[in-house]
A and B are shown apart, each in its own frame.
Chain A
Amino acid sequence: MKIKAALSRIRKDWVIYLMLLPAIAYFVIFNIVPLIGMKLAFQDYRIIGDNQWVGLKHFKVLFSSPAFFDVLKNTIIISTMKMIFIFPIPIILSLMINEVRVGPFRKYVQSVVYLPHFLSWVVIAGIWISFLNPADGGINVIRNFFQMPSVDFITSKEHIRWVLVFSEMWRTAGWDSILYLAAIMKISPSLYEAARIDGASSVQQMRYITLPELTGTIVTVFILNLGFFMNAGFDQVFNLINDSVISVIDILDTYVYRIGILNGQYAYATAASLFKGVIGVVLILGTHFISKKISGKGVW
């Protein structure tokens, strides 16, 4: 019975399916097919001839290393730090920019803050290493001015993770704020109009109108980002790592890079991707349903 009802619904909604068709076709060809290729994680790749099934061999190799748990620990710690400290910044930034009434200044700020996003980590690492230089880097000039001793941040196990957090914040805060600004634009001006008539101040308007309206976007972005939790930033770590701090910022991706990719052993990389992906999906679905229960808002 259900099937018949379903089929008749499908026939009725044919426009929907037609509109969805190009996207589905695209996804099947360009995403699903390569995903099936991830079975390489369970095989030994053979250029000539068929791949051999080796079951969980690659996973065992990856997970059995004494380094694996250290690397996993670092990945989780760094990702969590970034989530907590970096995530709110673009939101705050967009709120602040929104408060700027002086047109030219606003345009100036908006046109400038997103620029670091275009620099590659090779370049940004160079900039930050120079800035944090204990001899004459900008940060230590400032510290000395306040009678504080110079610190070598880049080779310091205590500080390096913070360097990762702040350099990433510097790079992405501006660019990510564009999204929230777009969301703020959608808020109906009549809401603000009404509040103004009622005598609400700027800050109150932000608290009672802007922020609540933004919640949907914030939740969506937050949950989606959780899908990439296990990534922690390969390019960044790769360019900032040095022998002093390996034990503290070596992450899953850099570990897999050394073991796998450098030797052309792509199967390890695929196994690691599979592992990361599973965790990402679990995180997204988990937080999505919890969030929906609590606030009615999720990813969709």
Chain B
Amino acid sequence: MKKLLMMLFSILLVFTAAACSKESADTSSKKTKDGKTIIRLAAKDDAPSNPAAVKYYDELAKALKKDENINVKFELVEVPQGTYAEKLNLLLTSGDIPDLIYFQGGDQQIAQQDLLEDLTPYIEKSKNIKNIIEPQNKQRLKNYPYLLWIKPLDQKTPVVRKDWFDKMASSKELMANPTPDNYYKFLKELVSNPPGGAKKPAFGLTVAGDVNEIDSIFKMAFGINQSWLKNSEGKYEYYKVSDKQKELLTYYQKLYKDGILDPQYLTKQWDTKEKAFYDGEAAVITGTNGKVIDLYNSKMTEVNGKQAELVVLPAAKGEFQGYGATDITKESRGYAISSQSKNKEVVFKVLDYLASPKGQMFDRLGYEKEQYNIVDNQIELTDKYYSEWYARYWEPTNYQPETPLKTPLLSEPATKSQQAVQQSYTEDNSFIIPEEFVTNWDAMENLYKEYSTDIITGKRPVSDFDKFVQEWKKAGGDEVTKYANENIK
């Protein structure tokens, strides 16, 4: 027995020694390698274990050399998809900061420690970026100049399948005059006269977990066009405690009670919500305009046929009309340059290249002969483009490549949704909650969630809303409101 143990122990030691040995670590070498500047980059889907990413950055380096005579080599940092936020944070807090970093949250405290470069001077001197920058990006950069993310607006738009839409008598009225009442009529008709057969749909609307998703349809009609509204005394109050919100909740309560809003909405996740849509359980869902609507459209037509192509519904009309104000406090995600990087200028040049016509074509359309073919001096996008390509960097909304596109970038419903959102662009007056209010704010938001959910599901009467307002004010609402009035211009 003893001999066996000793043997096991020594085997263990050998194993441990073997396990401990690793390839010689190549610690951050900002030095140039055969004349090339090394750019270390951490981005969510671009890990060295992903051949598509490796190929992209190899090709990008080639294009940079050819078109701009910029000599770089990209070094991807392995950050796994499943735990991107955690691993990125650990990397950064352990002092290993790549040159170019993609953030999806968690950037504020890195910026607070002066570790992210202020991009304003770079953008001003840029060749291409300042030409494609959108109004919401400009505002956000003014407030928080560390993240760059030139992408379309992200408001959600409601969609429904065309064949069902056409079967409804109330559709025309809805399109002509989309008041909340007409919306109600339309949704009610879908439920009482199900166009797809019995219980298809079972409800008019569904959302994933909370009604914020349908706020984009109805909020503005009820007069809520910003986060902080001027009340009758001319002072700002938070929209969630305003009388307008009370009316909106009354409306939602009616939708729930009359079987229009899915009674299981609280436990739906994004995948079960989509499933309900494709299965015909719910008639209308909302999705981010553009790419997401494109996805919904292609899946819907795949499962239910071409006649089920999507129709983009208008925002409800009332005091205002639109899909919701745009937050301009800061970009919620985007690319940042490390202030500790030795190659800041070169990194920005890369970002600028991706905004140039050639760079845009590369990033948005892919590699010639794979994602697209040039036929008769026109770009024809292939199946490979539609199924697997996505733009890693900038996507200004009105993109026209130098060679005209024969096949569109997005399906018609998706393009329509984008246009609709752009037309109703307004800026929000929300602000980043200062640190001293953060814990109170969390409690206040939860208080709202509790009351609003209980009111919508009928567990509480609408009159309880006033109780909520009182509690909210006591839980820190008064302080934040005072702060808002002092700081909102």
Contacts and interface: CB of A to CB of B under 8 A. Distances in A.
* A–B touching in complex (CB under 8 Å): yes
Contacts of A250: 446
A64 B438 CA distance: 11
B95 A47 contact: yes
Name the interface size band of chain B.
Answer: 20 to 34
Contact of B449 (A61, A68, A246, A265): A246
A134 B97 CA distance: 50
A207 interface: no
Given A46-B113, A242-B267, A259 B450 contact: no
B446 A67 contact: yes
B443 A264 contact: no
B450 A66 contact: no
B95 A66 contact: no
Contacts of B209: 242-243
A295 interface: no
Interface in A133-174: 133-135, 152, 154-155
A259 B417 CA distance: 35
A164 to B, nearest CB: 15
A259 B438 contact: yes
Interface stretch (B101-109, B121-129, B354-362, B386-394): B101-109
A263 to B, nearest CB: 7
B453 A264 contact: no
A250 B447 CA distance: 12
A190 interface: no
Interface string B429-448: 00000000011101100100
Given A47-B115, A66-B476, A129-B267, A244 B440 contact: no
A247 B452 CA distance: 13
Given A67-B439, A155-B457, A48 B113 contact: yes
A263 B106 contact: yes
Residue among A155, A255, A262, A264 facing the most chain B CB atoms (10 A cut-off): A264
A93 B110 CA distance: 51
B266 interface: yes
Interface string A112-137: 00000000000000000100011100
A65 B93 contact: no
Interface string B260-291: 00011011000000000000000000000000
A238 interface: no
A45 interface: yes
A69 to B, nearest CB: 11
Contacts, number: 83
Contacts of A181: none
B113 A47 contact: yes
B14 interface: no
A39 interface: no
A48 B106 contact: no
Given A67-B439, A129-B267, A134-B263, A244 B113 contact: no
A238 to B, nearest CB: 13
Residue among A61, A65, A258 facing the most chain B CB atoms (10 A cut-off): A65
Contacts of B8: none
A64 B95 CA distance: 32
Contacts of A263: 105-106, 108-109
A259 B95 contact: no
Contacts of A64: 439
A61 B439 contact: yes
A251 interface: no
B454 interface: yes
A47 B264 contact: no
B439 A154 contact: no
B11 interface: no
A157 B10 CA distance: 57
Contacts of A65: 439-440, 442-443
25 contacts: A47-B95, A48-B95, A48-B113, A61-B438, A66-B443, A66-B475, A67-B439, A133-B264, A152-B263, A155-B266, A242-B209, A243-B266, A243-B452, A244-B266, A244-B450, A244-B454, A246-B446, A246-B449, A246-B450, A250-B446, A255-B442, A263-B106, A263-B108, A264-B89, A264-B108
Interface of B: 89, 92-93, 95, 97, 105-106, 108-110, 113, 115, 209-210, 263-264, 266-267, 340, 438-440, 442-443, 446, 449-450, 452-454, 457, 475-476
